[in-house]
Amino acid sequence: MKKRYIVLMHIIIWLLLFIIANNFIITLGEVLNRPQSNLDIKTYVKTFSTTLGFVIPFYTGYIVTSLYQRKIKKNILFLAVLAICIVMPIVLYLVAFGTFIGLIDNIVYMISFQAIFFIIGVSFRSLFGWIEQSKLNAKLKEENLKSELTLLRSQLNPHFLFNTLNNIDTLIRFDQNKASDALIKLSSIMRYMLYQNKTEMVLLEKELSYIKNYIELERLRFKNPDFLNLSIDGDYENIRIHSMLFVPFVENAFKHSVDSDIEAGITISFSCKSNRIVFSCRNIYSADESDKDNTHGIGLATVKRRLQLMYPDRHRLRITTNHNEFIVTLEIDTCND
């Protein structure tokens, strides 16, 4: 809430309290057979001093809590509050009634009321402080996530790039057309990461195109054509998603797969139906090799946080291991995107 609205709200509340206090003093005067005129200056003085008796302890508690949160010396705050609580009721009573008569009888009553408003002030400031801190934490979390995502977007696995360039170099000698096609795919991948992926939302079609190119370049390393199975079903045109949701899972599958001579070492599938995407990725891995890799799972952790932020009630992620199989299943509802 903007500051001017908060200030206006405070002014309105204290004006209403002033009116209530004024009516209370007039009514009390009638009950005690001491008629009070609404136009009498003394009535306004009593009303004003009564209202101050609420305003001052409220803002004392409000300000003291703020200073306490800033780690101001506690003994100074304690003495200031104690002085206000003792001196203020006496001063306000003298302003309202102009005499010490009845001061002792009413001092406990006045201090009790002021203590209540002091506690209300402390509560309000604590509540606002908690809200501000929650917003700050959320903002910091979002900024950290954006930083991680920027890093994730900008990173092209050096091993993947090195292997791809080596494979292209080999292809140039034996199959120039295939080498040219591989260069075009690599160029497309880098273009997507550098330019098209700067926006948060992308067409699923473009993300799938990236994954297809990535897989085709990885296939250059494999002699076994049956090592990887990719299937895409359903109508995925015009579906928009938050970028780089599936790519880390695919990269992770290649990174931790072993023995490319086996069949179905990696199985990736996409199913799109009624604004719902079901993604599955399964790869056979070596637990010993994964344990040695200190960077294992960094991209996946980022994706998990992004899913919680971007699709809080519209996704279901399951990551399971079965013997030497690593299985990821991700369901996303894109109806609001």
3-class secondary structure per residue, 68-103: HHCCCCHHHHHHHHHHHHHHHHHHHHHHHHCCCCCH
Same-domain check for residues 241 and 268 = yes
Q: List the structure tokens of 269.
A: 């599938």
Residue 74 lies in a domain: yes
Share of the chain above pLDDT 70, in %: 64
Residue 305 lies in a domain: yes
Dihedral Cα 160, 162, 164, 170, nearest 10 deg: -150
**Mean pLDDT (the chain, rounded):** 75
Q: Using the 3D structure, point to which of 96, 113, 142 is the last residue of a domain.
A: 142
| 153 pLDDT above the threshold of 60 | no
Same-domain check for residues 93 and 234 = no
Residues with Cβ within 8 Å of residue 76, at least 6 apart in sequence: none
Q: What is the extent of the structural domain holding 159?
A: 155-333
The pLDDT, as a whole number, for residue 73 is 58
Task: Report which of residues 326 and 26 the model is more confident about.
Answer: 326
CATH number at residue 179: 3.30.565.10
Separation between Cα atoms, residue 327 and residue 21, nearest integer Å: 69
At 300-336, the pLDDT tens digits run 777 787 788 788 889 999 999 888 899 999 999 987 6
At 112-121, the pLDDT tens digits run 777 777 787 7
Residue 234 lies in a domain: yes
Least confident among 14-23, 160-169, 207-216:
14-23
Same-domain check for residues 174 and 304 = yes
Residue 23 lies in a domain: yes
Q: Using the 3D structure, point to which of 142, 163, 195 is the last residue of a domain.
A: 142
Same-domain check for residues 203 and 122 = no
Residue 147 lies in a domain: no
Residue 275 lies in a domain: yes
Same-domain check for residues 95 and 33 = yes
Q: Using the 3D structure, point to which of 84, 111, 142 is the last residue of a domain.
A: 142
For residue 32, what pLDDT band results from cuts at 50, 70 and 90?
very low
Task: Report which of residues 220 and 24 the model is more confident about.
Answer: 220
The pLDDT, as a whole number, for residue 261 is 76
Q: What is the DSSP letter of 235?
A: -
Residue 303 lies in a domain: yes
Give me the number of domains the chain comprises. Answer: 2
Distance of CA 255 to the CA centre of its chain: 30
Q: List the structure tokens of 335.
A: 């109806």
At 196-233, the pLDDT tens digits run 656 678 889 999 999 999 999 988 888 788 889 999 99
For residue 297, what pLDDT band results from cuts at 50, 70 and 90?
very low
Least confident among 46-50, 93-97, 277-281:
93-97
Q: What is the DSSP letter of 326?
A: E
The pLDDT, as a whole number, for residue 319 is 92
Same-domain check for residues 260 and 328 = yes
Question: How many residues does the structure list for the chain?
Answer: 337
Residue 258 lies in a domain: yes
Same-domain check for residues 306 and 160 = yes
For residue 287, what pLDDT band results from cuts at 50, 70 and 90?
low
Same-domain check for residues 174 and 283 = yes
Same-domain check for residues 221 and 293 = yes
Task: Report which of residues 329 and 58 the model is more confident about.
Answer: 329
The pLDDT, as a whole number, for residue 270 is 95
Same-domain check for residues 163 and 196 = yes
Share of the chain above pLDDT 90, in %: 14
Same-domain check for residues 39 and 87 = yes
The pLDDT, as a whole number, for residue 292 is 43
Contact call for residues 90 and 49 (beta carbons, < 8 A): no
Same-domain check for residues 109 and 232 = no
